Structure 1
Amino acid sequence: MTTLMTYAGPADDRAPVIRTGGVPLVPAAFTWPLCATCSGPMMFLAQLPVDDPGAHVSGSVTDARHILSVFMCQNDPGLCEEWDPFAGGNQAFLFPGSGLAAVVVPTDGVTLVPETCGINCAAVDEDDYHTARSQWSQAHGRPVRDVLGQLAGTPSWLQADETPACPSCGRAMGFVAQLEEGHDHRTSMNFGGGGRGYAFACTPCGKGSFLWQC
């Protein structure tokens, strides 16, 4: 079984739903992350639910035990090592699923994806991600590009397995989701041109991680 994340149309940029783009929902003490290389504010990419394996997935992130918020520097693409999970060009934050509010967005830097995309979750009875999204596309008469990624399960790596180790406990981090660049090249995220992003979390340690491959 593969849980696909499919394009559900434009979403409100502060909605408490699974989405790419828009404004992140964060705890009160949150500070917008800065790139370790260029010192500019990062771009917010997505908010994703993190829950127990097998838990029902709804469209609302507030139903999940935790939310993973993913950021990546796009102030000088390709020069800030934003593909690497530990180089400081991206960050992923694990938040509780409640008590969150929209953060104030910095006025400088490249901080927001051009489109806020709502996400529906579709379970497909197929273990292979590529086969699952082809089956979904054919069944619904929609382009494959409307599949925005996969939630939980097993990552479909474009290169070698790069599952990160938790910086706190050293154990392999749990896979949260993989992200395609987007349904429209004019508003898509930048994972090197045709790449794919991978988000992970260690819930006992409260840590998140992100990387991309192409």
Structure 2
Amino acid sequence: MPDSSAQPRLSLRFVESDVPIQEPVTKFGGQPVWLQAPAWPMSAALGRPMRFLGQIRLPGEQVRLAYLFLTEDYPEDDEDVVDTFEPDGGENAFFAQPGEPAGFYPVATIAKGPTFGPDHRVETEPFDGEVDVDDFATRLFGAPQWLQGDESPGEPFRFIGQFDTAGDLPFDVNFGDAGVGYAFLDESTGQGRFLWQCS
């Protein structure tokens, strides 16, 4: 599989679909399109299924999808509140199929579960090359633009994408105050790391 860090940066546009998307394409919302046996991540703290945010078609001739899940954002007066910002805290999951999830959260063999909303197809276009210090827009590949400082997990993880909650995503996702999420993948195993930063 090509090194994702060498892939050109892509800007994203989300378009709501009238029907469920069941092809192995990049999409947000709906239900995951599994390429292997379902491996739905469960909250390490609560034992509940995480919410499916989206899937990303990875570069290369082989069909490979990376999936992103987050633990449900419960009301602040709920004593079951958990934090989803830590890359290995067991309250978010990013992994690829073919491949395997990380070991710090359990998974269940369920095909469908909670989601952030209806299917949204993702349209991509090459980045136009204009970058400034406040450019935290949702994108795939290229290099991350850190909101608070570099928290890359290091080798063997490669940057896959960043997701801006300040207007870019089609759903209300809690990454704190105007937060940005960052996804990284070990392309050899399919295990990933996800974290977010906020202002």
Q: How would you bin the TM-score normalised by the shorter chain?
A: 0.7 to 0.9
Shift of 1:185: 8.4
Give the unaligned 5+ runs of structure 2. Answer: 1-7, 100-109
1:51 matched to 2:59? The reply is: yes
Please list the CA deviations of residues 16-35 of structure 1 after superposition, one character each: whole Å capped at 9, or x if unmatched: 22111110111442232110
Partner of 2:66: 68
What displacement does 1:73 show? 0.2
Alignment length (residue pairs): 176
Q: Of 98, 123, 129, which aligns to 1:96?
A: 98
Name the structure 1 match of 2:124.
121
Corresponding position: 1:39 with 2:47: yes
1:160 to 137, 143, 149: 149
**Higher mean displacement: 72-81 or 151-160:** 72-81
> Matches of 1:163 and 1:184 in 2, distance apart?
22
**Cα RMSD (Å) of the superposition?**
2.9
Q: Hey, which of these two has a bigger chunk of helix by percent?
A: 1
- Distance, in Å, in 1 between the alignment partners of 2:127 and 2:63 is 24
TM-score normalised by structure 1 residue count? 0.70
Any runs of at least 4 consecutive aligned residues in structure 1 with deviations exceeding 6 A, and if so which? 129-133
Identity %: 28
Structure 2-normalised TM-score? Answer: 0.75
Structure 1: runs of 5+ lacking an equivalent: 53-62, 98-102, 134-146, 166-170
The alpha-carbon deviation at position 47 of structure 1 amounts to: 0.3
Query: Which residue type is aligned with residue 139 of structure 2?
Result: Q
| Deviation sequence 1:59-106 (CA, Å, 0-9, x none) | xxxx66421101010153683221111010011121139xxxxx6324
CA deviation profile, 1:83-133 (whole Å, cap 9, x unmatched): 111010011121139xxxxx6324xxxx21123222111113316277879
